[in-house]
Amino acid sequence: MEPYVIEIPDAELDDLRARLGRTRWPARENVPDWSQGIPLAYVQELCETWATTYDWRRCEAELNAAGSSQTAIDGLDVHFLHVRSPHAGALPLLVTHGWPGSVVEFLDVLHALADPPDPADAFHVVCPSLPGFGFSGQPPQAGWGADRTARAWAQLMPRLGYERYGAQGGDWGAMVTTRLAQVDGAHLVGIHLNMVVVGREAIDAAGPPTPQERALLQRYAEHRDKGSAYASQQRTRPQTLGYGLADSPAAQCAWIAEKFHAWTDNDGHPEDAVSRDRLLDNVMLYWLTNAGATSARMYWESFAERELGTIAVPTGASLFPKEIVPASERWIRHRFPDLRYCNEPDRGGHFAALEQPELFAEEVRAAFRTMR
């Protein structure tokens, strides 16, 4: 267990700018919207900002100030942020990101969680980078899916001195968190999810869908039919995808930024929901660490091992309106019978902590008030 100071050499930043300047752009889309993918003009605009005015050193300093650390677990280096609360009695909280996110998702909520208005709501916050993501190690052998990651997290927390803790997650972070509830439930106070995967069995067990639930099913069907090609690629041929993402920063930027249009609660533009600087901060954690292929492998590793059994630990759920994997409270109760908290915020999407940091922090606090 040791501090991990992020210090990207100037030469790597110079190389990034040079590559951006040499980008060979594709032909412009021939539709006036995003239906063929992220528009050429917007990617060019993002990359121009990235090459000229974007300040990586600002983000680097934020990450280092947030307790950037590293430890080896099961032969793999695990990078994490660690912010201790100033308040006695704070509850340790393990927060896990997904794809195409990173620990950057939580930079704007760390202080709110660690030092809230009411000290009774305080957390010691631990935010690890998934294997193959960001500054964590890139597994040299297969086997690092959601299950093995959850088991690694179960070693990380006691190593930090936390025998009793809560866990939170969305996207792959939700999958890791629910698996953690199964493999380390004895040490968990409870979990909070902002993406809740229930499975077909739970939906069928709840009985005929209500009109609202039918709308949720339709929304998910549209996502599956028109917005899930990325997942098919990453769960079947992540290595093939990786060559382009490793060589072209414009490709890596476009591959990620497109999801911030499709998955956020915006008014037609991703920067309605997430600032350009934060979007590029997140892309940088993929580009600088060459994580395009290794992050995609989480899909290859984990789709076949998805475990949708009952989760017995106390659970809280925040159902943000633009979440791409929607669920109803009735469905959730069939897989998570000890559901202590379930709320439907009026705004926010898949990247809730980035889009609505204050609202996200309050949702986490409210959920764990029922479990502490």
* Active site residues per annotation: 171, 299, 350
CB 123 within 8 A of CB 371: no
Pinpoint the alpha helices (H) of 28-145. 40-52, 56-65, 110-114
> Residue 134: which of 13, 282, 355, 298 has the closest Cα?
282
Helix (H), strand (E), coil (C) string for 24-57: CCCCCCCCCCCCCCCCHHHHHHHHHHHHHCCCHH
- Our CA dihedral for 99, 195, 320, 93, rounded to 10 degrees, sits at -90
Separation of alpha carbons 36 and 30, rounded Å: 8
Strands 91-96 and 165-169: parallel
State residue 312 phi and psi, 5-degree precision: -90, -20
First-to-last C-alpha distance (Å) of the chain:
27
Separation of alpha carbons 188 and 92, rounded Å: 10
Separation of alpha carbons 331 and 264, rounded Å: 23
